[in-house]
Amino acid sequence: LKDQWEIDPEELNLGQEIGSGQFGLVLEGKWKDRKVAVKMVREECMSDEDFKEEATVMMRLSHCKLVQLYGVCTQRSPMCLVFEYMESGCLSDYLREKKGNLSLDLMLGMCLDVSEGMAYLESSNFIHRDLAARNCLVSKNNEVKVSDFGMTRFVLDDQYTSSQGSKFPVKWSAPEVIKYSKFSSKSDVWSFGVLMWEIYNEGRLPYENRTNTEVVESLNAGLRLLKPRLAPDSVYLLMEWCWKEKPEDRPSFALLLHELAAFSDL
Ligand code: ADP
């Protein structure tokens, strides 16, 4: 790892537990007077060496709508990843808590925030691979940022990484990902359509009562998620565009951002 990204364990103070995820515990902490979120990576959960190779690429990605990775503390065991702290936690929980009190402006603003972050990733030729409301975080002023980009590549659990696995996010995945593991910015766009659906359904899970197999069958039959009650027709049209069978028929994030920005001016 390049020295500039190595975090000195002396400068990192660890606090309370704030959550747990795919790689292990997440703690709040302090680093150089900054409040941070620290992911303690359990060795058996992550391919460490692959991650260290890629970490410099991920740390160079920097945008106000992405949760910033500040650095990595490899000298400590377990290895720690140090991120920008997001006061209001993950977007899916936030939506469920605020259910009934979310204005249309706020929901459109959330879609815009995510599309900005994703347009930046797209222009950096970086594929997220697991875009969903659970992988976005909310700041103290209700701003939404994209998190966990590219991280599924380092997960060691087959149940999560194989499209046949029980933990694979089939309900957010484009058909070509389910069939051939063909990830691209256009497969991220498909997931973004599902994320917009989650926002306008105030945090409901997509295809709630259906198994992954049933979801795949209905997608193959050309069926799609229904229009959320709160979504304007114009927004649902964008969702449907994201869910075109062929990747090349879907919009880019640059175009989605442009379209969503035009709605917010109305
Ligand atoms: P993993 O990527 O390892 O699966 P998550 O990113 O889902 O872990 O993190 C688990 C939980 O920890 C989240 O739901 C959230 O509540 C909390 N968390 C993660 N990152 C941050 C952060 N940067 N700021 C604040 N809370 C966070």
Model pTM?
0.95
Compute the distance between CA of residue 61 and CA of residue 57 in angstroms, rounded to an integer. Answer: 7
Ligand 1, from 58, 82, 90: best to mutate by most atoms within 8 Å of Cβ? 90
Q: Any residues with Cβ below 6 Å from ligand 1, and which?
A: 18-23, 26, 37, 39, 67, 83-86, 89-90, 137, 147-148, 151
How many Å from the N-terminal Cα to the C-terminal Cα in the chain? Answer: 48
Task: Check the annotation: does 39 bind a ligand.
Answer: yes
Please tell me the predicted confidence (pLDDT) of residue 230: 98
Length, in residues, of the chain: 266
Q: At what angle do helices 104-123 and 253-265 cross, to 10 degrees?
A: 150
CA angle 78, 53, 58 (to 5 degrees): 90
Q: pLDDT tens digit string along 76-92?
A: 888 999 999 999 999 99
Compute the distance between CA of residue 100 and CA of residue 92 in angstroms, rounded to an integer. Answer: 14
Q: Smallest Cα–Cα separation from 105: which of 259, 203, 192, 230? A: 230
Please tell me the predicted confidence (pLDDT) of residue 25: 95
Q: pLDDT tens digit string along 36-63?
A: 999 999 888 898 888 888 888 999 999 9
Please tell me the predicted confidence (pLDDT) of residue 54: 87
Q: What are phi and psi of 178, to 5 degrees?
A: -65, -40
As for the ipTM of the complex, it is 0.95
Ligand 1, from 18, 25, 94: best to mutate by most atoms within 8 Å of Cβ? 18
